[in-house]
Amino acid sequence: MIVAKFDRTYEGWRNAARRLVSAGAPPEDILWTADPSLFAAETLSVGTRNIAVPKPFVALADLISCHRDEAKWSLLYRVLYRIVQGERHLLAIESDPDVNVLYRMRKEITHDMHRMKAFVRFRKVDDRYISWHKPDHLIVEKMAPWFAERFGNMKWSILTPDRSAHWDLQKLTFGPGAPATEAPSEDALEDLWRAYYASTFNPNRVNEKALRNHVPARYWAAMPETEMIRGLIVDAKARGRQMCEAKPTSAAAFVPREATLPILRQAVHACRGCDLYECATQPVFGQGREDAQIVLVGEQPGEQEDLSGLPFVGPAGQLLDRALGDAGLNRGDLYLTNAVRHFRFEERGKRRIHKTASRSQVAACQPWLEAELGLIRPKLIVCMGATALLSVLGRAVRVSDVRGQALQHRYARAVTATVHPSFLLRVRERQSEEYSRFVEDLQFARRLVEA
Ligand code: URA
């Protein structure tokens, strides 16, 4: 038996695994442990073999290291050993028992990450916002950069029983875990949250059956609104039951009433109005001036938007920026959003390929766009592509049928349409002509608001 002593971190495992696999140490001979009373194998000869580990395995192992089950270390080593011994395409064989367990673990971790995004609630204490959260897995370090990005302008701490993460406006630091009692329970932010919750009360969340399904009981203590559930549940039960028994087909129940754009932007993380949230990294909300005269509506986030959480930052967004400049418009004066909030894709090998949202997904997501338009009330809405038209007008219309026209809308003086910028990336012939037409459409939009 080889005792592989390591510090139970991914880096520690990786260093030990590299040594062991290059020495050809078979998985069944290795005991992975952090137990100080055991003596580690000191004199493992390091093999001279050059070991090439496929990148997908490295990324997968890094993620799996967050799983709570300590069996992950030996499982990872077994899979690594098999790959290095010649099973180069092992990760593509989902029916393989080892690979199957790894993928199940990956799913459990990503699910836990989604839940952390949706359920962390901050409460203000002095100049800091504190949250207490109990994830299933050891995901705090992986998730902290996401919170730093989203809540970058406030000092916060997220305490969990395993680890704590702290953001001081400049850098992230990590510390030991903290029991729930260290999370403050009474403060101004909590009152604010209660008031907000009451005014945006969603019966779906107080239906106890649904709450148990969607919000595991251990999160309840850290969610101030759970105190209100008793009172609210009385008249909400029937409504809640009705909403929860059907498969969700609309975001309406997740869109807070009388909200502001920042509140909507936060609330969209809890949206389960259709099933796209299950696979996407995060929802992507609109971005731009709240008093914009023009709102540009696209289809749905792409790969890069899904990863960054911001609309139009990928190739289509870069082309759009160029065309806006050529049309004499400035992105900073506009508001950019999408018909659908989550990235819909198909996995092909390692790639995620854009897939057009279905009509029912567009309809399910429409309440978010409706809420944004109702708050901004721009002079003009520019629909880029047929999906945007479908969501804005509520009916299927071809771009070519309405291009260059000014249609009516209840929240804007007019609606116009043009192609989606990704169409310009796809056309092979007459690319520069199509680009010029796109710029002309944007110039037409500019003239409409200046008129
Ligand atoms: N395409 C869209 O429709 N929206 C984005 O945010 C990015 C690409």
Order of strands, edge to edge, in the sheet holding 294-298? 287-288, 335-338, 294-298, 380-384, 412-418, 407-409
Atom in ligand 1 nearest the alpha carbon of residue 384:
3
Please tell me if the CB atom of residue 305 comes closer than 6 angstroms to any atom of ligand 1. Answer: yes
Atom in ligand 1 nearest the alpha carbon of residue 388:
3
Atom in ligand 1 nearest the alpha carbon of residue 387:
3
Please tell me if the CB atom of residue 387 comes closer than 6 angstroms to any atom of ligand 1. Answer: no
pLDDT digits (tens, 9 = 90+) for 135-185: 999 999 999 999 998 888 888 888 888 888 999 899 999 888 776 554 445
pLDDT computed for residue 238 by the predictor: 42
pLDDT computed for residue 251 by the predictor: 93
- Interval between CA 424 and ligand 1 midpoint (Å): 13
Please tell me if the CB atom of residue 441 comes closer than 6 angstroms to any atom of ligand 1. Answer: no
Of all residues in the chain, the percent with pLDDT exceeding 90 is 57
- Interval between CA 305 and ligand 1 midpoint (Å): 7
Where does the pLDDT of residue 61 fall: very low under 50, low under 70, confident under 90, or very high at 90 and above? very high
**pTM, 2 dp:** 0.52
Please tell me if the CB atom of residue 391 comes closer than 6 angstroms to any atom of ligand 1. Answer: no
32, amino acid identity = W
Residue 449 has pLDDT above 80, yes or no: yes
Pairing mode of beta strands 335-338, 30-33: unpaired
pLDDT digits (tens, 9 = 90+) for 80-128: 999 999 999 999 999 999 999 999 999 999 999 998 988 887 777 767 7
Pairing mode of beta strands 172-176, 163-167: antiparallel
The C-alpha atoms of residue 69 and residue 66 are separated, in whole angstroms, by 9
> Is residue 323 within 8 Å of 266, Cβ to Cβ?
no
- Interval between CA 96 and ligand 1 midpoint (Å): 37
Please tell me if the CB atom of residue 338 comes closer than 6 angstroms to any atom of ligand 1. Answer: yes
> Is residue 163 within 8 Å of 141, Cβ to Cβ?
yes
pLDDT digits (tens, 9 = 90+) for 337-378: 999 999 999 888 778 899 999 999 999 999 999 999 999 999
> Is residue 178 within 8 Å of 159, Cβ to Cβ?
yes
Among 295, 298, 329, which Cα is nearest to 315's? Answer: 298
Say how many residues make up the chain: 451
